[in-house]
Amino acid sequence: MSNAYALLLLLGTVLSVEPAGPPPDFPRFTVPGAEKEMAALRDLFWLHYPGAGPKATLWDEWLPDAALWPAVDSGDAAAQFRREWRAALSRRMLDPEGYVATHQHASIAHQWGWPFPFWNQGRGGCGWHFSFKNTVGPSWRTDQLSKTDGWTLQGAKDGGLGDEGWTIDVQEADAVIAAPPWLCDTFEVPFLQIRWRAEGLGEMRPYIAWAAPGEDQRDVSRRMEFDPPGRDALEYVMVPMYRHPAWSGQVRQLFIGLGNKGPGKVVLQAFFSQYDTRHNINGQNFIRGCAKYFFWTRDLAFLRANIQRMRTALRYIMREHRTAEAKVVVTDWVGHDGLSGIRRTPQGKEILSGHGIGNNYWDLLPFGGKDCYATVQYYDAVRTMAEVEREILAHPEWNVPGGFLAFSPDELERHAEEVKETGNALFWNPATGRFVACIDAEGKTHDYGYTFLNIEAVHYGFATAEHAEAILAWIDGRRIVEGDTSRGEDIYHWRFAPRASTLRNIDWYFWAWSHPESIPFGGQIQDGGAVLGFSYHDLSARLRVLGPNNAWNRLKEILRWFEEVQAAGGYRAYYDGSRDGTLQGGGTAGGLGLDREFFESVLVPQIMLYGFLGFQPRGDGFALDPRLPDDWPQLTIDRIRFHDLLLHIRADREGIEIRSQGTLDRPLRLILPDRDWQVERLPDTASQAALPVREERGNLWSIAPGGDFAIRFRATP
């Protein structure tokens, strides 16, 4: 539990049946005439705000949007969230090539990837576990401990099984530990993991060797070396076997060569195969999470410490996923080629073990190959990086490192446009008028009407104007896609969000999800279910394409639903079996994602700040572009913590009012809509003798250093 989360628990019960109301210093959304709706929205925000601290890398793009701006001084919660996000982003692990780790909970899957699938969920892997000490529980590993039967030792002797694992006393140089014969398919063994430690042994050059079927001995020329383990604690070492050109076909037996110079001891806890469960969106999320933290805090020390890591992560994507040449994300990791782990034949269902491994939040679905979802996220990450690089160039006084890793912001923006053009041409399905999930290794597209993919494409500006209009017409029910399971009004069957998909899917999953037909459409989130948090992208897409009135009408329907939930006593009481809908959460599968691990539910209220008010933070200022529905005379949002300032912003038909508390020690740049503005000091402030604002050019204004200020920008006819 994070410290901020614990502090907030003291203020109100998180996700409880009857949660306490928000504290007085929690931000308010004020719209005259919509007081009831705004109160409900604030309650929704407060309900999920405690969960907005750092999670796995998957959430780095989403949760900072909600965590970093509310000026909640009660219990030091806001400051604590900033500290936690700073620490978490700074600790995100990058491998030597630039891949960013997933940082999800422990399992025996790839240590830097998603926690499943793991070796005993497939058919072609192998594994031996001599101890489960400090190993994740049975749901995320095999539950059978191994014996040493069938193992042979060369230059060593059996020291017995203990609490930590199997002790092996090494007596001679170049000792070898031979596993029992176990026929493996190298396709299902892209990695091998050894959990072990060593004492003595002198200099080590450990390696893994193998024998193919029909061979009695290992081929000494066929080996994969790796770094030796530590002496004090168990180390988890992953060996990327898939990179060896001879690692193909079947393997009959595995050998661990110690490459040691002297005697000593080895403790072997486990030796097992691993699927490649890495995510191809981690770099994109890490880059945007770092940028958002910096934009909200102007923490220059953080930027200096992490800018090269951000650049390295982006260059890794360009190289590993061939985006620089292909202009889309191409994922050809083993098992990530977009092919399903289920195949239906005249003889029945065939399970293709090792195929269909997920790449993102939607972990049952085989996104991969030429991956549309990852490409959309990449497009936004490139544009975000361009903004960061442009601000760095504009502010040499920041003293942010450059060097050969630095990007040209102009080149990044041109590249983003190439990605947009290529992606819209490649992934668009003209028959259904929406984007497909991916194009697999066999050239087949997969289109199950994934609303989350399409509305995010609109939200991030990836979709062209024509494609965006077609997407919203489909999701809004004004355009019917023949053949879809859910059409028209039924797309919003769950009320709080569109269904995640609109076409029944019983064929396109990773292999271990082998009986999707046993769950009705809508009973699984990834097949007709819904996630509350992604209504934020839906609202944003509507605001962008259909306008503020349409987005407000959709938000009102969400709030009517939420008021019913509150009256019933919370999500779990509302969906108690008396109505349609099953909740997922805490290890239980279901069709609706609202609470527990669905931390992104906190996104929905953010449409007020980033959408209707049009607030966008930057390292040297912020932008405002209000878009108010016709029946809103004004919108006010208070207690916005931006950099070291406390902001109170009001937008109405005639202009924008900004009140700031705190000391501004540098010019603050303000970007307003492209209109003619008159600036005036508000009559209730006496903080500065002179008007602190001057127009730099066009819609760019500069606020001078000083203390508190209160100014109004009035639009001239």
Residues 6+ apart with CB under 8 A from 76: 7
Residue among 24, 2, 25 nearest 14 (CA): 2
For residue 630, give Cα distances in angstroms to 140, 334, 550, 612, 657. Answer: 52, 52, 10, 12, 19
Q: Is 472 exposed, middle or buried (0-12, 13-18, 19+ CB in 10 A)?
A: buried
Residues 6+ apart with CB under 8 A from 279: 57, 58, 102, 113, 114, 358, 359, 360
**What are the tokens at 42?**
């604030």
Coil vs helix vs strand at 363: coil
Residue 691 pLDDT: 75
Do 548 and 34 meet the contact criterion of CB atoms below 8 Å apart? no
Residue 216 pLDDT: 74
Q: Which residues pair with residue 196 across a beta bridge?
A: 235, 268
Please tell me the distance from the alpha carbon of residue 298 to that of residue 135, in angstroms, as a whole number.
40
Please tell me the distance from the alpha carbon of residue 605 to that of residue 172, in angstroms, as a whole number.
66
What is the 3-state composition of the chain as percent helix, strand, coil, each rounded to the nearest 5? 30, 20, 45
Mean pLDDT, 10 residues at a time, the chain of 717 residues = 48 45 96 98 98 98 98 89 98 98 93 96 96 89 94 98 97 97 98 97 95 83 91 92 96 97 97 98 98 98 98 98 98 98 94 98 98 98 98 98 97 98 98 98 98 98 98 98 98 98 98 96 98 98 98 98 98 96 91 97 98 98 98 98 97 97 95 93 67 84 94 91
Please tell me the distance from the alpha carbon of residue 533 to that of residue 63, in angstroms, as a whole number.
10
Residue 18 pLDDT: 43
- Cα 696 off chain centre by: 38
Residue 683 pLDDT: 80
Beta strands in 275-368 (DSSP E): 329-331, 342-345, 348-351
DSSP 70: B
Do 30 and 633 meet the contact criterion of CB atoms below 8 Å apart? no
Please tell me the distance from the alpha carbon of residue 131 to that of residue 146, in angstroms, as a whole number.
8
Q: What angle do CA 576, 582, 584 make, to 5 degrees?
A: 115
Residue among 214, 211, 134, 147 nearest 176 (CA): 211
